[in-house]
């Protein structure tokens, strides 16, 4: 059996369906999941264990057998905890078959097969009865169905069904309840992740300031329907101003019937200071027992009583929500924050409270945010932040000033780029820009129209290789520009699609045409992560249970392909230290067409700092001109410890060393890490390998 998976093709700039081996899901999806992170979450595991033991004791105190239903059992860890705590039998439900197979191996290896039954079904398909999946209903319900947004993995429908069909009339729940919290803040940085803001760029060539404005529908758009989940603990307090205290929005009691219907929860508050309502930060905690003495919390550092000891988790982070429009509020005035949710999503709205409404405020009917301007359909949060980066735009303006003049014929190839606006403002009358999709075409025309440039910039809705002289009005291009940025790119080198597009339009360029950027360099560096390494680290035993079958799966995955694959991660969210100096390992010259031969390089990175070498980071730097470059990776090594400052708008590539999975492979401290990197022009991909020298 073959499986087809979507993958970015850097040579075409498109997502294509690629035929994978039948074991693809088994080797790739689980290895790339958060299971290892969860198993390493000691606080989570300990709190679940305490809650499960307490629930079993309560059931036994009533003179009943403890029959456990564990929905989303994963590795079977919570089921094994239940049996160890004295449960008489446990049903572990896992819908993903490869994971269910692993759970069965782990349960068997730990000697629990007689008391734990793994059921490979969705919980809503489980049947109870003599011939069913479960012989009888359970009286203890254990779940780990939560994501960063709490309900995004379908917790509410699963609970609703379980309460009606799978548990007894009286049941214990672990967790017992969940509570959602919110805080209203003003943050210029976070607001820049949500809207295209007015940009003002200084044009020295024409001695004037250029303004680039969004169109009105974009300014009022409700935004993306999905939550923005990030490691909010990496955002310094200087980047936001709290406008409210922390607000407890609502709780869900899992020991009672739960509804997945649309609901809203009003909470009145008075702003602690005046400002603009730009962001609602949100998180949750769970009580493992009815008394709330066993608590697992996602609270950020500025809320915690021990801010320097906040726990790191990647499977549960914090949420950033945006109101449709920013609104000025005044300290002390009466406001209402409303949390809305359906069966899978959560969103917020804010309204003023008139005199006399304080005690009986009607729930505001606010629909789930859906993008109406099309920008949120094309640009992710990081892209909005990148387009709003004033310093970055100034760099592009300085570079364009060096290569453009009024007689230039300019062609831009980049998804949703503002460079054509800058080119026209520099006096270029012949500006063409390529947009591959009709949605992107429509979006850019709206932006150009808002800036009265609809007749000045011609948008061509075609793939670059399909351009004809007619599209370019029979003119030869003298300056080809790009950021480069393409929405299908996942890894840093995927934006080398610009090189392939440049090659495709070579016949439309004049001799010695200017290409901006003129080249790109690939950099690499060995790092020690503060926490990110945990997502690929072996678990071995967890709370005394052998879960090494999970490690075997991840190890098998990393050996599945000919070489390890790098993974995209936004490293501004994941602190790390450089253990080597950054090194330029490969350069791609856009002034020449893509070569036919493979590009390869070898070298070594000398370790100049002590630490655990968890992996190598790779990133691209684009050389716009000889003097001006844009770095998408390491911006600065901050101190002698090697702490790193990363570009916040792009993801970097992380190549985890096998020594994370096989610590015994490094018998003594390494002094160097050797690398071999190969770029295959036919596939547009990098193959890489790193080895320790001791």
Catalytic residues, which ones? 144, 153
* DSSP string for 348-380: EEEEE--TT-TTSPPPP--PPP--SSSHHHH--
CB-based contacts of 333, cutoff 8 Å, min separation 6: 270, 271, 352
For residue 161, the surrounding DSSP H or E stretch is helix 155-165
Tell me how many degrees the CA angle 680-480-682 measures, rounded to the nearest 5.
Answer: 15
What is the signed CA dihedral for 264, 270, 275, 280, rounded to 10 degrees?
-30
Beta strands in 215-361 (DSSP E): 228-230, 241-242, 247-253, 263-269, 275-276, 279-287, 295-297, 318-321, 328-329, 335-341, 346-352
> Given phi > 0 = left and psi -120 to 50 = alpha, else beta, which region is 543?
left
CB-based contacts of 295, cutoff 8 Å, min separation 6: 47, 285, 286, 287, 288
How far apart are alpha carbons 327 and 276 in whole angstroms? 5
The two three-digit tokens of residue 682, written as one number: 């036919």
* DSSP bridge partners of 656: 615
CA-nearest of 622, 638, 366 to 489 is 622
Is residue 557 within 8 Å of residue 492, measured between CB atoms? no
How far apart are alpha carbons 9 and 6 in whole angstroms? 9
What is the signed CA dihedral for 410, 413, 416, 421, rounded to 10 degrees?
-10
Residue 362: alpha-carbon gap to chain centroid: 36
What SS3 class is residue 644?
Answer: strand
**Residue that the structure tokens 């493979």 belong to:** 598
Residue 160: alpha-carbon gap to chain centroid: 29
Cα dist from 156 to 152, 368, 521, 629, whole Å: 9, 17, 48, 49
* DSSP string for 12-25: TTEEEEEEE-TTHI
Cα dist from 491 to 413, 414, 571, 596, whole Å: 19, 16, 13, 22
CB-based contacts of 299, cutoff 8 Å, min separation 6: 181, 283, 285, 310
CB-based contacts of 85, cutoff 8 Å, min separation 6: 49, 52, 53, 56
* DSSP bridge partners of 479: 410, 514
């Amino acid at each position: 059996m073959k499986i087809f998976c979507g993958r970015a093709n850097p040579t075409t700039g498109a997502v294509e369906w690629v035929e994978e081996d039948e074991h693809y899901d088994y080797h790739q999806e689980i290895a790339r999941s958060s299971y290892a992170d969860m198993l390493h979450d000691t606080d989570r595991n300990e709190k679940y264990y305490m809650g499960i033991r307490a629930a079993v004791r309560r059931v036994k105190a009533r003179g009943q057998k403890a029959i456990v239903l564990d929905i989303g059992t994963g590795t079977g860890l919570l089921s094994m905890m239940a049996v160890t705590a004295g449960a008489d039998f446990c049903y572990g439900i896992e819908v993903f078959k490869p994971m269910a197979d692993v759970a069965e191996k782990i349960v068997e290896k730990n000697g629990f097969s007689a008391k734990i039954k793994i059921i490979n079904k969705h919980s809503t398909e489980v049947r109870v009865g003599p011939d069913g999946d479960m012989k009888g209903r359970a009286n203890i319900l254990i779940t780990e169905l939560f994501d960063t947004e709490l309900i995004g993995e379908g917790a509410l429908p699963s609970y609703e069904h379980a309460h009606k069909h799978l548990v007894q009339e009286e049941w214990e729940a672990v967790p017992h309840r969940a509570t959602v919290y919110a805080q209203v803040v003003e943050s210029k940085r976070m607001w820049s992740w949500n809207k295209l803001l007015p940009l003002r760029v200084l044009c020295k060539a024409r001695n004037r300031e250029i303004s680039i404005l969004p169109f009105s529908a974009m300014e009022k758009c409700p935004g993306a329907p999905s939550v923005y989940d990030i490691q909010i603990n990496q955002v310094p307090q200087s980047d936001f101003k709290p406008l409210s205290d922390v607000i407890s929005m609502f709780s869900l009691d899992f020991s009672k019937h739960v509804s997945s219907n649309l609901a809203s929860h009003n909470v009145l508050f008075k702003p602690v200071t005046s400002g603009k309502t730009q962001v609602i930060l949100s998180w949750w905690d769970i009580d493992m027992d009815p008394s709330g003495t066993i608590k697992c919390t996602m609270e950020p550092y500025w809320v915690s009583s021990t801010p320097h000891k906040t726990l790191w988790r990647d499977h549960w982070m914090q949420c950033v929500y945006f109101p449709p429009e920013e609104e000025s509020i005044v300290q002390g005035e009466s406001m209402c924050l409303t949390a809305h949710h359906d069966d899978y999503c959560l969103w917020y709205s804010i309204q003023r409270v008139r005199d006399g409404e304080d005690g009986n405020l009607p729930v505001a009917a606010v629909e789930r945010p859906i993008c109406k301007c099309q920008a949120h359909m094309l640009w992710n949060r990081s892209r909005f932040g990148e387009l709003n980066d004033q310093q970055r735009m100034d760099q592009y303006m300085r570079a364009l000033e060096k290569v453009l003049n009024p007689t230039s014929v300019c062609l831009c190839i980049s998804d949703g780029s503002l460079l054509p606006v800058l080119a026209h403002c520099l006096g270029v009358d012949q500006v063409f820009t390529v947009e591959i999709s009709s949605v992107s075409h429509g979006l850019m025309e709206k932006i150009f129209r808002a800036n009265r440039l609809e007749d000045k910039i011609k948008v061509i809705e075609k793939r670059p290789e399909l351009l004809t002289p007619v599209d370019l009005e029979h003119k030869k291009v003298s300056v080809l520009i790009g950021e480069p940025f393409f929405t299908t790119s996942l890894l840093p080198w995927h934006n080398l699609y610009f090189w392939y597009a440049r090659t495709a339009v070579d016949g439309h360029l004049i001799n010695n045409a200017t290409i901006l950027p003129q080249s790109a360099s690939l950099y690499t560096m060995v790092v020690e992560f503060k926490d990110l390494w945990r997502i690929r680290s072996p678990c071995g035993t967890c709370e005394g249970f052998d879960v090494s079958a999970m490690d075997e799966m991840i190890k098998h995955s990393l050996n599945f392909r000919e070489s390890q694959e790098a993974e995209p991660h936004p490293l501004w969210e994941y602190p790390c230290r450089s253990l080597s100096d950054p090194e330029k390992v490969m350069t791609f010259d856009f002034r020449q067409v893509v070569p036919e031969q493979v590009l390869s390089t070898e070298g070594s990175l000398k370790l100049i700092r002590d630490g655990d070498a968890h992996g190598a980071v790779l990133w691209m730097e684009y050389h716009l001109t000889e003097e001006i470059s844009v770095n998408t990776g390491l911006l600065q090594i901050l101190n002698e410890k090697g702490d790193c400052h990363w570009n916040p708008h792009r993801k970097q590539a992380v190549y985890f060393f096998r020594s994370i999975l096989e610590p015994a492979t490094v018998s003594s401290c390494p002094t160097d890490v050797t690398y071999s990197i190969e770029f295959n022009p036919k596939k547009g991909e990098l193959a890489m390998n790193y080895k320790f020298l001791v």
